[in-house]
Amino acid sequence: MPLDKPYKDIPGTTIFDAEQSRKGYWLNQFCMSLMKADNRARFKADERAYLDEWPMTEAQKAAVLARDLNECIRLGGNIYFLAKIGATDGKSFQQMAGSMTGMTEDEYRHMMISGGRSVEGNRRIGEDGDAQAHRQPQGSKKKDA
Amino acid sequence: MARITASVYTSHVPAIGAALDLGKTGEAYWQPLFRGYDYSKHWLAEQKPDVVFLVYNDHATAFSLDMIPTFAIGTAARFEPADEGWGPRPVPPVIGHPELAAHIAHSVIQDDFDLTIVNRMDVDHGLTVPLSLMCGQPEAWPCAVIPFAVNVVQYPVPSGRRCFMLGQAIRRAVESYGPDLNVQIWGTGGMSHQLQGPRAGLINREWDNRFLDRLIKEPDALSRVPHDDYVREAGSEGIELVMWLIARGAMADIHGGAAPKVAHRFYHVPASNTAVGHLILENQ
């Protein structure tokens, strides 16, 4: 019987299941290493050299160096692990989450203060909400701006 | 005999901990949120629980991808606040209750729930932020705490139904413990929030409030809501709300007792990326 994965049709959302976890194992374990102050210091001193100590794919290393969290997630990263990179950079969860939308920090913060993103149009792929693929990136960087 | 007297439900956003630790609670952004817990702090000081059984999730802190226990009970005498990457929170160590924790583990495992027993772990914001919200900034936490970590990071996470039934087993376990202890059970996490991808920042006020209504009045039906409803309606991290059903399952009305008294209810948007919900239910 095939596994039940009813969460595949939610736009702008990657569910961290066993398949993603397998892909991202070393990427996420690298992130865990940043919970030690010594490792944070070594990573900051030479990011590339530190990353090269881990059996991650080149694409995963490039995504970390670019701080492209959407790409990190696509390659198997999970936000709670990736948050250790943000913490090392002195970023808050709000700055990290906002960076994945294309919005500026101010735009994202304003959206949250105004009540957050609406679920309308964002429940299923194929609707027309602001999280749908055809409406990326969001905010002042949006394609039709 | 030990008894469960009340359940507390609250979000556990890390930014709330940072606001407290950095002295920002008086800022306009944070004031309305902390006001929502003024009553709760007085209430807790009056209730004087001996033990809080605190259901939370570890956020890739104590558990990496090396080991992913679905349900883990902390049986140690002491748990240190974890360094999650920002340095450890400046809060007191968490003092456990090894005897009651071991009793609950024994009883619940014999009741067919496969718990992982943890004798050494650090605890992250998922556990310490609820304590800060309910206790303020004391020199020491006012009671013993049994950490109970639920995997909501790697799918599949336990269903709402499974969590609700586990809560019932925890109640049976507590009530079979001899010493006379006042025990509270707290369910934490949620409410609607999504921290990842182009859909980050999702908030669903209507869904959250309906969840609170149903948690109070029809928890059995609520426990049958499937995972993908949580994710679709309340965001990928909104799935944390299944943990509230563990606390709710441990209340007396689920076992034929009277309906609980709603002592307090609070809802606020936003705390960072998250909708904050809070509820206190007392057994009558």
Residues from chain B that touch A73, judged by Cβ atoms under 8 A, are 196-197
Count of beta carbons in the 10 Å neighbourhood of residue A123: 18
Give the pLDDT of residue A5.
84
Comparing CA positions, the residue from B164, B153, B187, B179 lying closest to residue B56 is B187
From B97's Cα to the closest Cα of chain A, the distance in A is 27
**pLDDT per residue as tens digits for the range B69-88:** 999 999 999 999 998 888 89
Q: Is B198 within 8 Å of A101 when comparing Cβ atoms?
A: yes
**Could you give the CA distance from residue B131 to residue B141 in angstroms, rounded to a whole number?**
8
CB contact at 8 A, A48 and A42 = no
Domain ranges of chain A: 18-90, 101-118+126-145
Q: Does domain A18-90 have CATH number 1.10.700.10?
A: yes
CATH number of the CATH domain containing B31: 3.40.830.10
**How large is the average pLDDT for residues B194-223?**
98
Give the pLDDT of residue A141.
76
Comparing CA positions, the residue from B191, B140, B147 lying closest to residue B33 is B191
Comparing CA positions, the residue from A4, A78, A91, A66 lying closest to residue B85 is A91
**Could you give the CA distance from residue B249 to residue A23 in angstroms, rounded to a whole number?**
36
**Could you give the CA distance from residue B190 to residue B275 in angstroms, rounded to a whole number?**
7
Q: What is the percent of chain A with per-residue pLDDT over 90, rounded to a whole number?
A: 89
User: Can you read off the two tokens belonging to residue A23?
Assistant: 């892909």
Q: Compute the C-alpha angle B56/B60/B63, nearest 5°.
A: 85
Total domains, chain B: 1
Residues from chain B that touch A29, judged by Cβ atoms under 8 A, are 64-66
Write down the mean pLDDT value for chain B: 97
Q: Is B155 within 8 Å of A124 when comparing Cβ atoms?
A: no
Q: Which of A13, A73, A92 sits opposite B15 (nearest CB)?
A: A92
pLDDT along chain A (145 residues), means of 10: 83 96 98 95 98 98 98 97 94 92 96 98 97 94 62
- Domain of B43, in residue numbers: 3-282
Give the pLDDT of residue B251.
98
Residue of chain B minimizing CA distance to A116: B203
Q: Which of B154, B201, B233 sits opposite A116 (nearest CB)?
A: B201
From B204's Cα to the closest Cα of chain A, the distance in A is 6
The neighbouring-strand residues paired with B267 are: B277
Give the pLDDT of residue B95.
98
Task: Please name the residues between 119 and 148 in chain B that touch chain A, using a CB distance below 8 Å.
Answer: none
* More confident call, B5 vs A143: B5
CB contact at 8 A, B59 and A83 = yes
Q: Which of B12, B97, B193, B278 is catalytic?
A: B193
Distance set, CA B277 to CA B103, B185, B270 (Å): 31, 16, 10
Q: Is B195 within 8 Å of A16 when comparing Cβ atoms?
A: no
**Could you give the CA distance from residue B37 to residue B33 in angstroms, rounded to a whole number?**
7
Give the pLDDT of residue A145.
46
Give the pLDDT of residue B87.
84
Count of beta carbons in the 10 Å neighbourhood of residue B273: 28
**How large is the average pLDDT for residues B115-125?**
97
CB contact at 8 A, A116 and B275 = yes
Give the pLDDT of residue A112.
97
Count of beta carbons in the 10 Å neighbourhood of residue A60: 24
Q: Is B193 a catalytic residue?
A: yes
State whether residue B6 is helix, strand or coil: strand
Give the pLDDT of residue B86.
80
**How large is the average pLDDT for residues B2-31?**
96
**pLDDT per residue as tens digits for the range B149-178:** 999 999 999 999 999 999 999 999 999 999
Distance set, CA A43 to CA A11, A32, A98, B92, B189 (Å): 33, 12, 24, 30, 31
Residue B137 pLDDT greater than 70, yes or no? yes
* More confident call, A144 vs B201: B201
**Could you give the CA distance from residue B45 to residue B35 in angstroms, rounded to a whole number?**
16
From B283's Cα to the closest Cα of chain A, the distance in A is 34
Q: Which of A12, A35, A69 sits opposite B83 (nearest CB)?
A: A35
Q: Compute the C-alpha angle A138/B208/A72, nearest 5°.
A: 40
Q: Is B64 within 8 Å of A29 when comparing Cβ atoms?
A: yes
From B279's Cα to the closest Cα of chain A, the distance in A is 21
Comparing CA positions, the residue from A2, A73, A94, A3 lying closest to residue A31 is A73
